[in-house]
Structure 1
Amino acid sequence: MKVCLVGSSGGHLAHLIEIKEAFENEERFWVTFDKEDANSALVNEKLYYCYYPTNRNIKNLIKNTFLAIKLLYKERPNLIVSSGAAPAIPFFYVGKLFGAKLIYIEVYDRIEKATITGKCIYPIADKFIVQWEEQKNMYPKAECWGGIF
């Protein structure tokens, strides 16, 4: 199996790093921002950089969509995993078209209000995981697995 782990740097990337051992026996690659935290944490990992800033940036959303098409066509992952934020959206939608399974993990600190990424991905995710039972009020079909940290 080949796994794509995609997410913004910072806390979103920290979530993915916490679960990377679950994929230690799988071929995997990462998509994130070219920032110090990503570069230092992902030494010896196959790493691709996506465009940022992404907050309400239509230009980079379009660029990341074309990047998703290119990378997912080249790599052909069976599974795409993310905890957000914006780079996950084009990678999940393009990945769905290419037949990849999608697992999304909603962030730990959004208990009462859904994230934009979560709202966008919830309808297409094969598995949507939340870390608090209260988050199921926003995502009724989600599975609560508890905190990652």
Structure 2
Amino acid sequence: MKKILAISSGGGHWVQLLRLRSAFEGCDVVYATVQSSYAEQVSGSRFYQFTDATRWSRWALLKMVFQVCLIVVRERPEVVISTGAAPGVVALRVGKLLGAKTVWLDSVANVEQVSLSGLRVRGFADLWLTQWEHLATDEGPRYEGGVL
């Protein structure tokens, strides 16, 4: 059974990640996000909560990076998938270093341009997707249809 780490920030990123659950059927899925209350939405799956942080809160960001690194190292997923933002960037980078396949699905909210986080993962995401056809380029992200 393939082990997947599905990780995102809270709010809309989390909602979008949950909408992908049917794609994970038959896999051992580990979820990670910023709100402990989200655990009940994925009952029956392993769940991790980490510090919520942005690039403007340096200390919280450092704590989040450490926590996400520990999750990835502890779980050793075969696939890391994220809908954003900063925690997904960290998880994809560490996952890639450990040999995982990496998937980044840029937020559906990014209608006019890809996200800053998406730009940061393009060099090490095995699959970088956008949900907006007009944002797809030869260098990435790819458009394979709107899933949300």
TM-score, normalised to structure 2's length?
A: 0.89
User: Which residue of structure 1 aligns with residue 56 of structure 2?
Assistant: 56
Alpha-carbon distance between aligned partners in 1 of 2:47 and 2:35, rounded to the nearest angstrom: 9
TM-score, normalised to structure 1's length?
A: 0.89
Paired residues in the alignment total: 147
Contact 2:81 2:103 in 1 (8 A): yes
User: Which residue of structure 1 aligns with residue 146 of structure 2?
Assistant: 147
Runs of 4+ in 1 over 4 A off after TM superposition: none
User: Which residue of structure 2 aligns with residue 98 of structure 1?
Assistant: 98
Tell me the CA shift for residue 35 of structure 1.
5.0
User: Which residue of structure 2 aligns with residue 26 of structure 1?
Assistant: 27
Gaps of 5+ in 2: none
RMSD: 1.7
Alpha-carbon distance between aligned partners in 1 of 2:105 and 2:92, rounded to the nearest angstrom: 13
Tell me the CA shift for residue 40 of structure 1.
3.9
Contact 2:80 2:95 in 1 (8 A): yes
Tell me the CA shift for residue 143 of structure 1.
1.9
Tell me the CA shift for residue 10 of structure 1.
1.2
What is the percent sequence identity of the aligned residues? Answer: 27
Gaps of 5+ in 1: none
Mapping of residues 122-133 of structure 1, within 5 Å = 122-133=122-133
Tell me the CA shift for residue 55 of structure 1.
4.6
Equivalent residue of 1:69, what SS? Answer: helix
Contact 1:15 1:148 in 2 (8 A): no
User: Which residue of structure 1 aligns with residue 14 of structure 2?
Assistant: 13
